[in-house]
Structure 1
């Protein structure tokens, strides 16, 4: 597919020297590329309003609008910024090369250029462009699939749940215990699948949520979310302790979801303990904070630690601990969005500790 795209690729040459234009056009035509010519920056911008090429070869020094200004105009335009730009510059002009990269140009070739090198660079950046485009299309298809799953699977499952409710209401008194248990099992399983679909959709949207960073007091957030969760389990006996945590730069909504998943896991896996214990602490490295949430719950075999952050991976049965197997994946994705990473340690029947890092100077 990418090879087919390469044979149909269109390249814009922006240069004010006729000899250079003629040479470049000849080389590109020999490679079966489509070629558009602009002899100055203003003409190039007008052409770009009408049609977007797959790559631009841009001379640095031109009258009125030089290559740097044109590059800046292109890269600052959301509709054009994805087009790879290769600067053409003199071999001893290191400042131009540096400035070109600062303006987000993808590459450069020096004059007088080697034809093989020029073509190699063009092919490389066209392949990267088409691979990126294919990946974006795949993400769009995945997004559409997720919405289809949400509509086509959730609706009938929710209908089944309602039908079961009506059935129990009308005939429940006439059924023996075995039949009632069977209906209850069907109801729980349909609800479980609906919840899994919701979590999968939540996970798929995670990378698209726009980041709105502000100062977040982690100590307050941990305490607030714990209180919300423990109210739903009033009969639990849990010792919860939060040591002083930093105020960080982060998205408050994503960080709330992060901590909600962390504490939900800790409370879930300590549910069979006479006294559940959850402790949150912080240590510092040179450039990052390390937040640790330790519990005295079920724990796990470290042999399987590398599987835990995969979507729908579970080390315990649904009957033993409810859940969708998506929580740790969401934790990892949120932490990565903040420039950090998450990891976990544990031992069977001795609990687990979930760690995540957050850069101190979070960009």
Structure 2
């Protein structure tokens, strides 16, 4: 096996140097030598070596002192030192390690032992240097990443400050919007009440059945508008402020009856029959009456709009411990998935939007869904109010 590396032998005995150098050169090492410690230090300071083979017993400063000088020099202390010694007593071995030596070989030394120990120390030195280089590269990489992270954190802090500022602005805008909507709602409600009052005056002052019927129709429409306005304001309040519902005990059959009363003119005009299949006089749930009423009116109106005259709409109530499902069914045309999706679109501009009743159902922890009926024309709509 061929080895590589540069070795310095420091020994005052030329014969020992000759024997060791011969073995090492044959193995492929480059070898230099010095006959005393001072010369050895001079060689080390002016040349590059991978390892030092150092005799202990030399004139002047012995091997222990030379080793201490090597290890105290920052430029030389990474070079491994192997002692060549005839001393095998425990004290000498310990002193050699305490002075900084990495290993020792006793004289007369075995050639294989010499090669193995030299090879091991050079490999350890090479691995240490490689590890130090990797550590430096890693430290550099960490420093670069840290700098980038610091810059990113600074950017994030700036972004967070900007977002916080924008959130405050949005909060202010939301409060302003809510304030405006409240004012608008109050103004609309006040105006509607005034109109209703004037209509009642006309109804009782003018002795005409047709006028009375017209006033009733207008009054129903105004009542419907007021319900929608108040419900829209309430939903906006729930969504923007995270407010809680104001639940009360409700009879859903009475609410359905009131919704049908609000739509009575259209029901009679189209001669559509609405069958409530509930076999109970009263079905109670807990919810906010104004909102549920608005959801029922819009949903019933949806079915009235999509059905031809002389049609029928079926209502079925299914109740369990969690809440109530109101199931609407008709025999009208089937609808596509795209149409179903459009009904629930927030920005749907058609007359049959179901986005508002869906929001009301969700405010009551419920849901709203539509699907075509099996094997026959028509759709099934489920409006759920799950109020635990």
Q: Same fold (TM over 0.5)?
A: no
Larger fraction in helix: 2
Which TM-score tier does this pair reach, normalised by the shorter chain?
0.3 to 0.5
After TM superposition, the score normalised by the length of structure 1 is: 0.44
Structure having greater relative contact order (Cα 8 Å, sep ≥ 6): 1
